[in-house]
Structure 1
Amino acid sequence: MKYAADYARDRAEIEDLLARYLMAMDYNDFDTYADTFTEDGTLEFARGAVTGRENIRAAAKGFKEAVAGIYCDVDGNPAILRHVLCQSVIRVEGDRAWHTGFWFECANDGPRTPDGKRFTPTLGTFGIYEDELVRVEGEWKFSYRNIRNEFLAGRESGPDNPVLAMDAKAGKTAA
């Protein structure tokens, strides 16, 4: 793969967007979460697809409220969830970019440590992000994000290397 002279800057800006997205979700900052998308951006996830920042904001808030009732610590309180982004492949073509990355989630819903003071973290869900991004007024935003969940039938990424699918999609769009 050949990289443009400004690839490092674009990649750094996109990685910053990816981190801001996860921090916003994990800390229930739904305004910042929605702002990582374009005005007409689409989020596709386990509950379906929503388009537009206001709909994305509402969907994220509703999802977090539902998850709070599912993931509980040993005391019955909503578990604290933190997402981690691992390897990321980012392709940039001018003001458009594509990202594929592996994510997983940690939670404090495990048993307490022997001294009873802390929870043992658990590794919970995991999957792949499939993203399309655009530069809007100098800032990278998601125009489309598909959250693949390897543990949900119909939401898994499949047997083929997802980076090849990203490159094919980018090649068709960039041409």
Structure 2
Amino acid sequence: MPVYNASYAQDRAEIEDLMARYLFAMDWNDFDTYADCFTPDGVLDYAKGTTVGRENIREEAREFKERVGTIYKDVDGNPAVLRHLLTQSVIRIEGDRAWHTGMWFEMANDGPRMDDGGRLTPTVGTFGTYEDELVRVDGEWKFSRRNIRNEFLGGRESSKENPVAVMDRKAEGAG
């Protein structure tokens, strides 16, 4: 188990704020804010591949949102509105470096579905884990690497091992 120092609460609050701003930026198509959540040489590793550099991440996010709009449709055939949520998060902080593991899921207005009994049921569209590395740059926390694991896509699932144990090993090996 990590030892929490006196600045842990402040650092954790700042990192949680970064993660919330990231999700709001993604869901409201604010690609500038989305990209600013990363270091200039940050890495985004997600279902469509790996993108390096803030400017490339900005363009990749824009293109991905356009592609998603052709896949998810609401009942009227319009691009669905997706909303991502972050649930439990474990954050390990060692000086100006941090590691985060958290569960995410997304919901969309592509409508509730009918179950086998003819009842409307809401759906969770996709879900997975974030495996993040962060650094403090000029007093601000930024993602240096964000690995988005997708439990529903072959080859993108989380490992069979507890991802928090994996994160702790990375943090301990970095020191």
TM-score by length of 1: 0.93
Query: What is the CA distance between 1:123 and its match in structure 2?
Result: 1.1
Dislocated runs of 4+, deviation >3 Å: none
Secondary structure of 2:6's counterpart equals coil
- 1:162 paired residue number: 163
What aligned pairs does 1:31-110 form with structure 2 within 5 A after superposition?
31-110=32-111
- 1:134 equivalent in alignment to 2:132: no
Residue type of the alignment partner of 2:29: N
Paired with 2:34 and 2:123, the residues of 1 have a C-alpha distance of: 24
Q: CA RMSD in A?
A: 1.4
Residue type of the alignment partner of 1:172: G
TM-score by length of 2: 0.93
Deviations 1:77-127 (A, max 9, x none): 000000000000000000000000000001000149xxxxxxx85311000
Paired with 2:123 and 2:112, the residues of 1 have a C-alpha distance of: 9
Query: What is the CA distance between 1:158 and its match in structure 2?
Result: 2.2
Deviations 1:45-79 (A, max 9, x none): 00100110110001101100000000001110000
- 1:150 paired residue number: 151
Paired with 1:56 and 1:15, the residues of 2 have a C-alpha distance of: 20
- Give the gaps of 5 or more residues in structure 1: 113-119
- The size of the alignment, in residue pairs, is 168
Query: What is the CA distance between 1:18 and its match in structure 2?
Result: 0.3
Secondary structure of 1:20's counterpart equals helix
Secondary structure of 2:22's counterpart equals helix
Q: Does structure 2 conserve the Cα–Cα contact (< 8 Å) formed by 1:108 and 1:121?
A: no
Q: Does structure 2 conserve the Cα–Cα contact (< 8 Å) formed by 1:109 and 1:122?
A: no
- Give the gaps of 5 or more residues in structure 2: 114-120
Paired with 2:22 and 2:85, the residues of 1 have a C-alpha distance of: 11
Residue type of the alignment partner of 2:130: Y
Paired with 1:121 and 1:102, the residues of 2 have a C-alpha distance of: 19
Secondary structure of 1:160's counterpart equals coil
